Amino acid sequence: MAVSWEDSVTSSINTIYLLFSAYLVFVMQLGFAMLCAGSVRAKNAMNIMLTNVVDAVVGSISYYLFGFAFAFGSSSDSNPFIGTCFFALKDVPDGKYDYSYFLYQWSFAIAVAGITSGSIAERTQFSAYLIFSFFLSGFVYPIVAHWVWSSSGWLSTSSADLFLGSGAIDFAGSGVVHLVGAIAGFWGSLIEGPRVGRYDAFGRPVVMRGHNATLVVLGTFLLWFGWFGFNPGSFNEILVAYPNTTNQGNWTAIGRTAVTTTLSGSMAGIVTLFGRRLLVGHWDALDVCNGVLGGFVAITSGCAVVEPWAAIICGFVAAWVLIGLNMVALKLHFDDPLEAVQLHGGCGAWGLIFTGLFAKEEFIIQAYDSGKGGISRSYGLLLGGGWGLFCAQAIELVAIVAWVSVTMGPLFYILHKLKVLRISIDEEVAGLDISSHGGYAYHNQEDDERPLRYKDYIRMQN
């Protein structure tokens, strides 16, 4: 039967919306690159920017060949753990998934590797980035995405047999994206150990500030901009009207989601501003930037299913989670140049728990059942919704930590044993730009005591 012009227009507008959201999420790669470049020392700026490019290009091929299939491949033999079809996009589009949906999900996949790259910056061999980016984007992350976002996943809110009668709500990926990247980064950073000079002979931390605050702030605002595709875009369709209403549909829920995202990030930024002022005695722009991002990470799970006032609570707690974990990291001599593990891991974990506490039933039905009447869903514990959703959120958290640990932990350990993970001390002191990439990112960086070109560096080694 021929498709009506109304359906064609609706499908076209929804596709445009999804593609635009994918473009916004892809802009986050630029945000990551700027944030990372500004947060490391100048002698490693070219290296960290190149790794961000590698995360995108290697992740694209990996996700095309395997990742999308493992995440969303559904067929007659589908199982709750892993997808089994759509390898290299065979049989796509199939009526359920099309190319625009693939592109949107791809933009999420390459973001995961970017989180991990920040944790192991300034001391990692370039070849290691190629290996873990391919594995993380093509296998580890897609499995978790299948659990939560595929209709056949065991934690999915769209499953025919809801886990604990609820399923886990991770609307845009506090756990699926951010926690996965953070746990992978945790194992990489732990196995590599701190950067040379990060702690002195007495175990006291030595400040290694990034070289360019301007890039950090620019990256933060680019990420903020991209998050409007990350969270609201996860509705996938904008022209979905809610029954029994005259003026509500996905378009209203999308607007609310953008608001909750903004409020959580803003509140976290304010709390970090004053919290760090009390702790260190001055106003720190870089700490505030990370605080804002921590608020965004935390709200990403429940952005579509909570009230704006709850988003403010989310951001408030996220800021203290980040501040507290940074203090713990210093005590334990854990070195993460971008604070990625603390930010994406700690705030991502809080985001999952927050959703289990504050999710509103009406909004859950809007997000997952298109606002249909006569449907009952488990909702936030503190709103009277019982323990079902909260327990599902906690189990998702534990499952992600366990899965990424048993996959990425051994991978980093094998790379370490094969001596292809960490660079030598001489290379690290000289800087990755000159020792691995042939020159510095900035032409005015060199002085008389530094090698001007790669061949000068080689001559110094001999």
CB 215 within 8 A of CB 288: no
Q: What is this structure's pTM?
A: 0.93
Please write the tens of the pLDDT for every residue from 287-319.
999 999 999 999 999 999 999 999 999 999 999
Distance of CA 295 to the CA centre of its chain: 13
Query: 58: buried, middle or exposed (CB in 10 Å: 19+, 13-18, 0-12)?
Result: buried
Encoding tokens for residue 92? 């796509």
Average model confidence (pLDDT) across the chain: 91
CB 94 within 8 A of CB 173: no
Residue identified by tokens 């304010």 is 270
pLDDT score of 7: 82
Q: Is the pLDDT of residue 149 over 90?
A: yes
Q: Is the pLDDT of residue 226 over 80?
A: yes
pLDDT score of 110: 93
- List C-alpha distances in Å: 15 to 20, 101, 434: 8, 8, 45
Percent of the chain at pLDDT exceeding 90: 76
How far is 273 from 257, CA to CA, in rounded Å? 24
pLDDT score of 456: 63
Q: Residue 245, Cβ neighbours under 10 Å: how many? A: 10
Sketch out the chain's domains with CATH numbers.
Answer: 11-422 (1.10.3430.10)
Residue 302 φ/ψ, nearest 5 degrees: -105, 15
Higher pLDDT, 364 or 95: 364
Encoding tokens for residue 391? 């327990």
CA proximity to 371, closest of 361, 386, 357: 361
CB 139 within 8 A of CB 109: no
| Residue type at position 430 | A
74-94: average pLDDT: 87
How far is 111 from 121, CA to CA, in rounded Å? 16
CA proximity to 179, closest of 62, 56, 301, 9: 301
pLDDT score of 96: 85
CA proximity to 232, closest of 24, 397, 26: 24
Report angle CA 209, 210, 212 to the nearest 5 degrees: 135
Q: Is the pLDDT of residue 265 over 70?
A: yes
pLDDT score of 394: 97
Write the DSSP assignment of 394-419 as a string of letters. Answer: HHHHHHHHHHHHHHHHHHHHHHHHTT
Q: Is the pLDDT of residue 340 over 90?
A: yes
How far is 322 from 345, CA to CA, in rounded Å? 9
| Residue type at position 276 | R
163-176: average pLDDT: 94
- List C-alpha distances in Å: 162 to 147, 165, 302, 324: 12, 5, 18, 35
At 438 the three-state DSSP class reads coil
CB 122 within 8 A of CB 193: no
User: Long-range pairs for 371-374 at CB < 8 Å and ≥24 separation?
Assistant: 371/242, 371/243, 371/244, 371/245, 371/248, 371/249, 372/243, 373/243, 373/244
At 153 the three-state DSSP class reads coil
pLDDT score of 266: 97
How far is 175 from 28, CA to CA, in rounded Å? 18
Please write the tens of the pLDDT for every residue from 399-419.
999 999 999 999 999 999 999
CB half-sphere exposure, 364, CA atoms < 13 A: 23
The residues facing 241 across adjacent strands are 249
Residue identified by tokens 């998702």 is 396
320-338: average pLDDT: 94
Q: Tell me the pLDDT band of 2, cut-offs 50, 70 and 90.
A: low
266-275: average pLDDT: 95
CB 221 within 8 A of CB 14: no
Higher pLDDT, 109 or 279: 109
Please write the tens of the pLDDT for every residue from 26-42.
999 999 999 999 999 99
CA proximity to 352, closest of 192, 177, 229: 177
DSSP state of 138: I
pLDDT score of 461: 64
pLDDT score of 444: 61
Q: Is the pLDDT of residue 448 over 50?
A: no
